[in-house]
Amino acid sequence: MMDLKKDMQEVLDQFAIRAKNNGGSDGIAQQLTKGAQIASNSPVDGQLIAEVATAAPTDYEAIVLRAEEAFLAWRKWPAPKRGEVIRQYGQALRDNKEMLGKLVSYEMGKSLQEGAGEVQEMIDICDFAVGLSRQLHGLTMHSERPDHRMYEQWHPLGIVGIITAFNFPVAVWSWNAMIALVAGNVTIWKPSEKTPLAAQACMHILSGVFKANQVPAGVCNLVQGTTEIGKLIAADPRIVLVSATGSTRMGMAVGQAVAGRLGKCLLELGGNNAIIVTENADLKLALTGAVFGAVGTAGQRCTTTRRLIIHESVYDQFVAELIKAYGQLQIGNPLDPQVHVGPLIDEAAVVQYEAALVAVQKEGGSILTPAGKLEGEGFESGCYVRPCIAAVQNDYMIVQQETFAPILYVMKYTTLEEAIQMQNGVPQGLSSAIMTGNLKEAEKFLSASGSDCGIANVNIGTSGAEIGGAFGGEKHTGGGRESGSDAWKAYMRRQTSTINYGDDLPLAQGIDFHLG
């Protein structure tokens, strides 16, 4: 197993992470918080990496006031100038990609490749935001009144609150923050208390860029803490938009709090994603997509493949290939390039995994591969489990829920209409896919009567979205959209303006209003 002192100290030094760290920053390294410490223990080997101070309510208040003040200045910076700051941050991330990726992998437990890939997502969204800084376009419209011009423009909202989850400890923040910043907003970030150090590292890198560009203090803020900080953000009317990523239960609480004050909310919540494997599928291609989708990040992605809906004619063959592939998976230290599957985030996640397996069998399903918690040499953290496959029915209560663990449910279908109904027959609506070489099947899956998810793929898996498209889903997934396409509009307010350049004041709809 990894020796923290030998292998990680260089990483910690790179980002000025000490044994005990302050938990608040205004983006240019001013420390504000003095609250209780939260520990970050690596699920890889169970070692304590470092501790971070949480924000007290007085700390939170100070940060919000500073953010309000910073917004008054930042919104006046030309968007391309804001974009230049983000461009420099993207370059700084390139320079720190290996180190930051390693920290993400060690603190969260995902593979080294996935850790580096997450930092690459940050770089990609920076590139996208730079281009966007010159493309925050509105529209012009023809007025029904003579000598009038109508147009719409987009203005920044103010303070954007960002609440992120442990499974993507840095990328999801960047999806929100880079777009929000380019749009002229300021941000307050509450990361998961399970991965606080990755957030500290992101802000450490950002502080250097902000200093070099004389960015106003308070433009980008970090507030470490538990769910109590999230509740403060959700209830605070000064935070115009709250973007929250996490469980459906968490999102419902945030959504209710924000709606209660008529604020804006962007929710990216749970997924229960399925791949339909038709009789016309390339089974080799489908196997690769299904296995990576199911076991990548140890099943802890919101886009993880949780259900395989397989045509009855190829079910036995495909499941046999799946079982064979699972037998080849290497489980262990995720910083070892030969390892496919790392640990779950903590022992509580292991308990949920074990409870799901019990529920499967209680409802009548069967476990098709070895399953359970791993113990012994290399698994001392208590967070390692075997990825497994279970034969189930789609209407099982446990199948209807999202279990954040590497459990893949397999089931049969007869007609494509039945398969689509099964795919849609869960409360969540994030990601979906169909494996087929038949054009009609693919188009039907993508039609209005096909997948009801925010993401629908053909001949690729459910996981691994690119930043160019809007990311998010429907139903209990929350309805929010982040990242690419026109998702930037969620971070701005639309203003319609009409200019009268004539000598008269004609009224709309032909109304004639006489005075005197």
229 and 307 in a common domain: no
Q: What is the per-residue pLDDT across 242-286, written as a single tens digit (0 to 9) for each?
A: 999 999 999 999 999 999 999 999 999 999 999 999 999 999 999
Closest CA to 75 of 497, 492, 481: 492
What global pTM score does this model have?
Answer: 0.96
Residues 251 and 334 in one domain: no
Which residue carries 């980002």 as its tokens?
A: 15
Sheet (strand 148-156) strand order: 139-141, 148-156, 492-500
Cross-strand bridge partners of residue 411: 309
* Residue 140 falls in which region: left (phi positive, over 0), alpha (psi -120 to 50) or beta: beta
Output the domain CATH number for residue 336: 3.40.309.10
Q: Active-site residue among 126, 202, 302, 453?
A: 302
Q: What's the CATH number where 38 sits?
A: 3.40.605.10
**Has residue 334 got a pLDDT over 50?**
yes
Strand boundaries in 180-255, DSSP class E: 186-190, 220-223, 239-245
Average pLDDT over residues 389-405: 98
- Helix locations, 133-195, DSSP H: 171-182
Please tell me the predicted confidence (pLDDT) of residue 27: 55
Rounded to 5°, the CA angle 141-147-150 comes to: 25
Q: Is residue 511 part of a domain?
A: no
129-174 tens-digit pLDDT: 999 999 999 999 999 999 999 999 999 999 999 999 999 999 999 9
**Within a domain: residue 128?**
yes
Give me the pLDDT at residue 26, please: 56
**Whether pLDDT at 508 is above 90:** no
Residue pLDDT, tens place only, 443-473 = 999 999 999 999 999 999 999 889 999 999 9
Q: What share of the chain is helix, strand, coil (3-state, %, to 5)?
A: 40, 20, 40
Give the mean model confidence (pLDDT) for residues 207-218. 96
Q: Are 181 and 79 in contact (CB under 8 A)?
A: no
Q: What is the mean pLDDT of residues 71-100?
A: 98
Same domain, 238 and 347: no
Contact 385, 347 (CB under 8 A): no
Same domain flag for 323 and 426? yes
Domain that holds residue 49: 26-269+478-495
CA–CA distance, 148 with 506 (Å, rounded to integer): 9
Do 252 and 365 have their domain in common? no
- Hunting for tokens 């292998």 — which residue is that? 7
Q: Is residue 402 among the annotated active site residues?
A: no
CB atoms under 10 Å from CB of 177, counted, come to: 29
pLDDT digits (tens, 9 = 90+) for 178-205: 999 999 999 999 999 999 999 999 999 9
pLDDT at 354 over 50: yes
pLDDT reported for residue 498: 97
Is 241 inside a domain boundary? yes
Whether residues 220 and 362 share a domain: the answer is: no
316 in the same domain as 223: no
Q: What is the mean pLDDT of residues 361-376?
A: 98
Q: How far apart are CA 438 and CA 435, in angstroms?
A: 9
Same domain, 353 and 488: no
Q: Looking at the domain assignment, is residue 14 inside a domain?
A: no
CA distance 375 to 385: 9
Cα separation, 234 vs 262, whole angstroms: 11
Let me know if residue 342 belongs to a domain.
Answer: yes
201 Cβ contact partners less than 8 Å away, ≥ 6 residues apart: 14, 15, 17, 96, 100, 103, 170
Based on the fold, state whether residues 309 and 331 are members of the same structural domain.
yes
Side-chain-facing half-sphere of 105: CA atoms under 13 Å:
30
In the numeric block, which tokens belong to residue 39? 């520990």
| Rounded CA separation 3/155 (Å) | 50
Beta strand 264-268 with 474-475 is unpaired
Listed in sequence order, the DSSP H helices in 75-195 are 79-95, 97-108, 112-132, 171-182
Residues 247 and 383 in one domain: no
What confidence score (pLDDT) does residue 29 get?
42
Average pLDDT over residues 504-508: 89
* pLDDT at residue 215 greater than cutoff 50: yes
Q: 10 Å Cβ neighbour count for 299?
A: 25
Catalytic member of 114, 268, 402, 482 = 268
| Token digits of residue 136 | 């925050």
pLDDT value at residue 129: 98
Q: Are residues 323 and 394 in the same domain?
A: yes
268 is catalytic: yes
- The DSSP 8-state label assigned to residue 230 in this structure reads H
- The alpha-carbon radius of gyration of the chain (Å, integer) is 25
The pLDDT, as a whole number, for residue 510 is: 85
Residue 227: inside a domain: yes
| Summary mean pLDDT of the chain | 95
Question: What pLDDT, in 10s, does the model give residues 405-429?
Answer: 999 999 999 999 999 999 999 999 9
As separate numbers, helices (DSSP H) first and strands (DSSP E) second, the chain gives 15, 25
Give the pLDDT score at 23.
Answer: 76
- Average confidence (pLDDT) over 328-342: 95
* Cβ neighbourhood burial of 69 (10 Å; 0-12, 13-18, 19+): middle
pLDDT at 474: 98
Domain annotation covers residue 506 = no
Q: Please report whether residue 8 resides in a domain.
A: no
For residue 298, the tally of other CB atoms under 10 A from its CB is 32
Query: Are 394 and 410 found together in one domain?
Result: yes
The count of domains in the chain is 2
Residues 6+ apart with CB under 8 A from 162: 173, 176, 177, 180, 187, 188, 189, 190, 243
Residue 71 has pLDDT above 70, yes or no: yes
